[in-house]
A and B are shown apart, each in its own frame.
Chain A
Amino acid sequence: MRVENVVKTFGETVRALDGVSLEFEPGIVYGLLGPNGAGKTTLIRVLTTLLKADSGYAEVAGVDVRADPVAARTHIGLAGQFAAVDDYLTGRENVEMVGRLYNLSAEEAKRRAGELLERIHLDDAADRTVRTYSGGMRRRLDLAASLVGRPQVLFLDEPTTGIDPQSRLDLWELIRDLIATGTTVLLTTQYLDEADQLANQIGVIDRGKLIAQGTGDGLKDRMGGSVIELHVADDERDRTLEALRAISHEASFETARKSIRLPAPDGSLTLLAVVRRLDESGITAQDVALHKPTLDDVFLTLTGRGAAEAEAERESTKQPGRRGRRERSAV
């Protein structure tokens, strides 16, 4: 997979992709992490030949997607965030249909569908229409459909957005199981833990540009691991900061969140130290919390602004149009 300097604009003001470049080896899972509107889905649409880039070069499984989209399509599988499965077909019919469209023989499509439905634990529900499926089941089916053609490269566009936590865990396990077979995967997500769980390598995308790349641990190291966040009354702020700097000189006040934050390299041990320290100083905190780093922290560290902010900023420059509609309908 090779992406060089890809640019895609919508209308005159929205630069959805602003010169993205990335490259990675076959067989790995690459997690593309970014807030809504960062350009993740647009990049996937370019790489899956759904959208033509304005400029730049993109290669998937060794095929130039612009010059030969038909050949590129034989090597890819796409599971989108909209779970594009057909409500009025059964699970089996859905997967078989996609298999036929991948040019498998009717027999082969049938066999593949049976095999995949078993692997995604939908064999019991395989002959019910998809209309009766839960959100998690639809995602699993969508995943099976994207794998039926044995793609070399699999694109998973926010595979767990909008589903409940339990289904999310199941889906992670399933994805891990399915991709253990050596398929190259490009996964987009808004969740750091998801990228961390599934990907070997993570790229962070913001405003249509790749702003950081590395392993999950590498990125977290750059952020110093977990973070303690606490709120105190305004007149106690300075005193609190002073007290906490004895634990970490990086303790600081975040104006955006009106909270005091400090790194917690030792996790709950640091938390205990903080609580003890506050108690000794006679300071009553309104709340104290220990966070694992989230996308928001990554953003704060990398761009100096939070993910929610980045999203809001994006929304305000966005032209009302097709993209806007799509995203709203995803909610």
Chain B
Amino acid sequence: MATATEAARPSRISPAHTIKDIAVITKRNLLRNIRLPQLLIFATVQPVMFLLLFNYVFGGAIGGAIPPIAQGEYINWLLPGLLIQVAAFGAGQTALGLTEDLSKGVIDRFRSLPMARSAVLAGRTLSDVIRNGFVIGLMVVMGFLMGFRYQTNFLSFVAGLAVAMVFSYSLSWIMATIGLAVKNPEAAQSAVFLPVFPLVFASSVFVPTQTMPAWLQTFAENQPITVTVNALRGLMLGREALIDYQPGMTANQITQAVAEAPTVEGQVLQSLGWAVAIMIVFVPLAIRVYRKTVS
């Protein structure tokens, strides 16, 4: 160890080699997504079903309680929220995919190959974010068919989708850590949904947070899912979507409320801040757990 001779220096894997490995693993994971019927259904039918159910079941009751910028159409309010809900659920696939590979010995094979170790996790999260991108695209198309119209402009709308993708990618790393820690696929299923459910429901995904009890409201308004949903709504509907809306507000009151509402830029920055913070914590953590798990 002390003698740093040429022969004693361990071999390293070049960046070009690493990128190729990541591409190979990503492609493999995507092929699995297409061929595994459960995954395909999870990725297509389920999000569409959520969209239909929530819109037509809750839409009538909630339509009046949402800010007027939504034009009284619940779908306008719901779609940005559901995109994040689906991204959060979809990130759970990262955990399930990893545990499955672990239990089947696929990871052992990868580790015995002269490939970049980081490619297993990078390829996994990358293929999951691509899959999420597909799901988000599908939901947007469905949303448009159901009457969704952005109230800002096209660029702003696309920026909203980008924020959703970045956030979803960061969640994948949390899920990767959970998956590697619990190791078996059945346990991963519940371990993944345990944190996701409260975060998704105690948020502004489905309903404005002002109707929640004060203690819950404090949590709901500051947690990353709400912040990200607000960023999306701001980008797609405008700052008017972020007001503390009470039914029966006059035009003046609304103008006042908009001035007091959080800025769209603020929400976007907060959401990206969350994504960066999550990655700073969970990328190294996932890698550490991965090293420990497999040796």
Q: A50-B295, A52-B295, A129-B35 are in contact. Are A101 and B115 (CB under 8 A)?
A: yes
User: Taking the nearest CB of chain A, how far is it from the CB of B191, in angstroms?
Assistant: 17
Least CB separation from A145: chain B residue: B109
* A84 pairs with B111, CB closer than 8 A: no
B interface, over-half SS: helix
Q: Which of A69, A97, A329 is close to B103, meaning CB atoms less than 8 Å apart? A: A329
Residues A45-71 near B (CB distance < 8 A): 48-52, 67-71
* A67 pairs with B8, CB closer than 8 A: yes
Residues B44-83 near A (CB distance < 8 A): none
User: Taking the nearest CB of chain A, how far is it from the CB of B104, in angstroms?
Assistant: 6
Q: Which of A76, A83, A97 is close to B112, meaning CB atoms less than 8 Å apart? A: A76
User: Taking the nearest CB of chain A, how far is it from the CB of B121, in angstroms?
Assistant: 15
Q: Does B240 contact A (CB under 8 A)?
A: no
CA distance A212 to B272 in the complex (A): 63
Q: Does A82 contact B (CB under 8 A)?
A: yes
The interface on chain A, measured as residues whose beta carbon lies within 8 A of the other chain's beta carbons, has a size of: 34
Chain B residues whose C-beta falls within 8 Å of the C-beta of A93 in the assembled complex: 28, 31
Least CB separation from A148: chain B residue: B113
Q: Does A89 contact B (CB under 8 A)?
A: yes
In this complex, the member of B20, B105, B108 whose beta carbon has the largest number of chain A beta carbons within 10 angstroms is B105
Q: A67-B8, A70-B10, A100-B24 are in contact. Are A80 and B105 (CB under 8 A)?
A: yes
* A78 pairs with B112, CB closer than 8 A: yes
* B114 pairs with A51, CB closer than 8 A: no
Chain B residues whose C-beta falls within 8 Å of the C-beta of A77 in the assembled complex: 112
Chain A residues whose C-beta falls within 8 Å of the C-beta of B216 in the assembled complex: none
* B105 pairs with A50, CB closer than 8 A: no
Q: A88-B31, A93-B31, A101-B113 are in contact. Are A70 and B108 (CB under 8 A)?
A: no
Q: A68-B10, A70-B13, A329-B103 are in contact. Are A49 and B111 (CB under 8 A)?
A: yes
* A74 pairs with B114, CB closer than 8 A: yes
Q: Which of B24, B32, B108, B295 is close to A101, meaning CB atoms less than 8 Å apart? A: B24
- The 7 A-B residue pairs whose C-beta atoms are closest, nearest first, are A82-B105, A84-B105, A73-B114, A84-B109, A74-B114, A70-B11, A88-B35
